[in-house]
Amino acid sequence: MYKAKAYSAAGETAPVASTTITRRDPTDHDVQIEILFCGICHSDLHQVRNEWKNVMPTVYPCVPGHEIVGRVTSVGKAVTKFKPGDLAGVGCMVDSDRTCPECQAGLEQFCPNSTLTYNMPDKHLGGVTYGGYSDSIVVDERFVLHIPANLNLAGAAPLLCAGITTYSPMRHWGVTKGKKVGVVGLGGLGHMAVKIAHALGAHVVVFTTSPNKKDDARRLGADEIIVSRNADEMQKHAGSFDFILDSVSAEHDINAFINMLRRDGNITLVGAPDKPLPVSVFGLIFKRRSVSGSPIGGIPETQEMLDFCGAHNLTADVEVIPIQKVNEAYERLLKSDVKYRFSIDMASLRA
Ligand SMILES: NC(=O)c1ccc[n+]([C@@H]2O[C@H](COP(=O)([O-])OP(=O)(O)OC[C@H]3O[C@@H](n4cnc5c(N)ncnc54)[C@H](OP(=O)(O)O)[C@@H]3O)[C@@H](O)[C@H]2O)c1
Ligand SMILES: [Zn+2]
Ligand SMILES: [Zn+2]
C-alpha cells in the first residue's frame, strides 16, 4: 500500500478538500497510472452531495472522478496490454466478476458485480473505491483503456464517461447517416453527443434551455437548434425524430420530447435526475414510441469509442482548472456555466 494525494468530500454539505488516501500496490494484473487530467462529470456532483441517496447512497469520505487520463508508471508482471510510459484511461468501472453473461458479452456495465471507480466496495483494501481526483490510481488492466496519441489529453479525459455514455446508446439505437437525432441539454454529455452524432452522419438537432448556446451548438456540429422553452419552435418538429438522447441533469418535462418522436422512435435518458419523471402513456401508445435509459458502456465499446474519437479527432471542449477550484466549478456546473466540461489539471495537486 502507498499514500496518494487526493481531494475528497467528508459529507453531503462539505466542500471537496485536500486529503491523503491509501492505494494498493499493483498486483500482477494491475496498472499504476499517474493521473494527468480528470474531467468533472455532473455525476460527481450528484454523488458528492448524496443526491442519489435512494439508489446508491454516498459513503464518505468520497473521492469522485471517473474521467481519468494519465501515464502508466508501473505494471504488474502479468500485464500484457500496457507498459510504463503508455497513455492510459480509466472510466466509470474498475472491475467486474468477468464470468457472468454480461461480462462475457463485453457489457460489463450490466454486470451485477461490477465495481464502479468510486463509492463502491473495494475488493482489495476494504472500504470504498476512490476515484480520479487524485495523483494516481491502480486498476486491473482489463479496465484500462488506450488513449489515441493524437488527442489532446485534457479534452480526451471526458471521453471516458461523457463520450461513452453518449456513443453507446447512439450505436445501440442505430444512429447513422440519414437519421434525425435530437440531443436534449448542451452540457458535458450533450456536447459530446452532438459531436459524435454529427461524426456518425446524422442530422443533429439540439434542444437547449440556454439561447446563448446557439452559436456553439452549430460550431459543435448541430444542424438545427431549438430553444425548448419556445412552444412554437417545438411544435414545428413534432413527430419527426428517429432518436433523442436526453442528457438533462434536473427535473424536466420529457413528454414534450416524446412527442417529437416519429413512429417507433426512441428517447434514451442518460441524464439522471434524482426524482422520478412523469410519462404520459398516450404519447407512447399513439406512435409505438419507447423510452429507455442507458448506463455508460462496456470496456470493448469504450475502446471502440476512443478509437472512433481518435480517427475523427474528437475531444471535449474543456475549461482546464486546478483542483483547488473544484468547489467553484461545481457551483458553475449547476448554473450550466461551463463550455462544456471542466477538466482538472492534476499537476495542480502535485504542486
Ligand atoms: N447514464 C449514465 O451512465 C450517465 C453518465 C454520466 C452522467 N450521467 C448523468 O447525466 C446528466 C448530465 O451530466 P453532465 O455532466 O452532462 O451535466 P451538465 O454538464 O451539467 O449538463 C446538463 C445540461 O442539462 C441542461 N439542464 C440543466 N438543468 C436543466 C433544467 N432544470 N431543465 C432543463 N435542462 C436543464 C443544461 O443544458 P442547456 O443549458 O443546454 O439546457 C445543462 O447543460 C447528469 O444527471 C449525470 O449524472 C449519466
Ligand atoms: Zn460521469
Ligand atoms: Zn459480470
Q: Is 152 helix (H, G, I), strand (E, B) or coil?
A: coil
Position 259 confidence tier, pLDDT thresholds 50, 70, 90:
very high
Q: Is the CB of 38 under 6 A from ligand 1?
A: no
Q: Is the CB of 110 under 6 A from ligand 1?
A: no
* Phi, psi for 233 (deg, rounded to 5): -60, -40
Quote the ligand 1 centre to 189 CA distance (angstroms).
7
Residue nearest to atom 44 of ligand 1 (CA): 249
Residue nearest to atom 2 of ligand 1 (CA): 295
Instruction: Provide the residues around ligand 2 (an ion) whose CB is within 5 A.
Output: 41, 43, 161
Q: Is the CB of 209 under 6 A from ligand 1?
A: yes
Distance CA 243, CA 240 (A): 9
Surface-to-core class of residue 288, CB atoms within 10 Å of its CB (0-12 exposed, 13-18 middle, 19+ buried): exposed
Distance CA 232, CA 309 (A): 36
Ligand 1 site-directed mutation target among 336, 340, 342, 344, most atoms within 8 Å of CB: 336
Pairing of strands 93-95, 87-90: unpaired
Give the number of the ligand closest to the Cα of residue 108.
3
* Per-residue model confidence (pLDDT) at position 255: 97
Q: Is the CB of 270 under 6 A from ligand 1?
A: yes
Instruction: Report the interhelical angle of 299-312 vs 188-199 (nearest 10°).
Output: 70
Q: Is the CB of 210 under 6 A from ligand 1?
A: yes
pLDDT digits over 208-223, tens only?
999 999 999 999 999 9
Quote the ligand 3 centre to 339 CA distance (angstroms).
36
pLDDT digits over 223-256, tens only?
999 999 999 999 999 999 999 999 999 999 999 9
From the list 110, 82, 115, the residue with the least C-alpha distance to 96 is 115
| Joined grid coordinates for residue 214 | 446557439
* Per-residue model confidence (pLDDT) at position 105: 98
Residue nearest to atom 10 of ligand 1 (CA): 271
| Joined grid coordinates for residue 8 | 475528497
The answer to pTM > 0.85 is yes
Instruction: Please say whether the beta carbons of 175 and 245 come within 8 A.
Output: no
* Phi, psi for 263 (deg, rounded to 5): -55, 135
pLDDT digits over 263-316, tens only?
999 999 999 998 999 999 999 999 999 999 999 999 999 999 999 999 999 999
Helices (H), 54-105: 101-104
**Ligand 1 atom index nearest CA of 252:** 32
